[in-house]
Homo-oligomer: A and B are copies of this chain.
Amino acid sequence: MLNRFAVILCGGSGTRLWPLSRSLKPKHLLPLNGDSTLLQQTAMRIHSKVPASHLITVTHDSHRFEVKGQLAEVLPDAVHAVIAEPVAKNTLPAVAIAVKRIYEIDPKAIVGVFASDHAIDNEAAFLSAWDSAEIAAAEGYLTLLGIKPTEPATGYGYIQPGSALQLEQGSLPIASVLSFIEKPDKQHAEKFVAAGYLWNSGMFVFRADIFMQLLARHQPEISAVLAGLNAGNLKEQYDLLPNISMDHGLVELADNVAVVPVDMAWSDLGNWESIYLRHARNDDNNVIHGDVVSIDTHDSLLWSQCGVVTALGVRNLIVVRTADATLICDRNSAENLKLLVDEVKSRYSSLAETHLTVQRPWGTYCVLGEGPYFKIKRIVVNPRSKLSLQLHRHRSEHWVVVSGIARVIKEDMEYIVNVNESTYIPAGHKHRLENPGDADLVMIEVQSGAYLGEDDIVRFQDQYGRE
């Protein structure tokens, strides 16, 4: 019987869907396609074929707690197998570290590799293509899912398929691959579509041992680093890895590559225009999300995360409002958003990195306001979670419980703070906050002091290994 594993790649710089995505909140962590996040949708889609315990998720260390938190909501058994990369090194190192782990369990295991931030509307077609790809993979092929183009897109790489392979056939044909082409210009894209080329979706299926052989042959450097990896040296070993993609580093160099053409209403949601195109439009051909008032406005995406977006007499725009920024972009310029985000980054760096609401392993906090000598946060602590035992050298903190119940350790005291009660932690006092209840603890924290940076923290004990 087939021993099936899957790897989910959770990378991303948070640029393409800014201001909704941020470097600390890339698009797979966002609910862009319904109520659950793209990562959660991907995990559930894969879970149709793969048990949660055979699902390995690779992400950057800075996203680790949120990735685990999101998986815990839909597939708790997948949480243990989240690999946190200390440095992002493109897709090949991420795939390699996950496949090595699978190879050690079963060299003949069949592995599927999937991006965490794509939308696939036709799930049956996806699963059927995966079935077919496994037939080729079992025979030793490095197999790609190739998307049948719906338009001459210039934002994707193309695959030129060759002759049909003589294999036991699944429901879809399987072809050899003649060549890979990088993102083409419009003219070439039109030719490729007419000639039956396929979009490279970045989804792969292969046998673990075949992958390891290919890696040893084409990327001996990565193989050597992986061989020397142990629990204690991840950071040092990662620094030695090259920054290289699965495509460039392996797929384009291998000679046993196959492709399964598939039509599954796929999108990489690579910019706001693709979000516009995939959402239902109203009578004015607008996509509306959140609180929006529009008059004489057409062909636009109007998306509010916070506050009200209002539009009068405009056409063909992308408008996205968050608590701290508003983007107005012509739909034809959506592909160039990176230029704008780079400028934002240089002038307002935190605006490209985080939202006002920040995820922590124990819950969230949101900065409600700050000024000279004070900062105010709304803190939500998850049920039965606790912050680290810590102290701040420069700030004192007032806490008012507005919902739930708090257990507080302050120096050598331990006490409960109930709803509508408050407590005070002077600067320099060792303290710990815990939610001992079954409901969220919601607290208002008023910080005061001359220095209020997040780095004024000394951790003594931490459930999440952050000491």
Contacts and interface: CB of A to CB of B under 8 A. Distances in A.
A402 interface: yes
Interface stretch (A90-98, A252-260, A288-296): A288-296
B442 A374 contact: yes
Interface in A372-428: 372-374, 376, 378, 396, 398, 400, 402-403, 419-420, 422, 424
B330 A326 contact: no
A372 B403 contact: yes
B310 A344 contact: yes
Contacts of A313: 329-330, 332-333, 336
A312 B320 CA distance: 12
A61 interface: no
Contacts of A419: 373, 448
Given A308-B348, A313-B329, A398 B400 contact: yes
Interface centre among A291, A307, A366 (most CB of B within 10 A): A307
Nearest to A333: B313
Contacts of A307: 323-326
A396 B319 CA distance: 40
Interface string A92-135: 00000000000000000000000000000000000000000000
Q: Which 10 residue pairs are nearest across A and B when measured between Cβ atoms?
A: A313-B333, A374-B402, A313-B330, A368-B368, A312-B329, A400-B446, A326-B326, A308-B325, A312-B340, A420-B448
A380 to B, nearest CB: 10
B312 A330 contact: yes
Contacts of A369: 366, 368, 378
A339 interface: yes
A366 B368 CA distance: 11
Given A308-B325, A371-B403, 4 more contacts: A293-B343, A308-B324, A368-B376, A376-B376
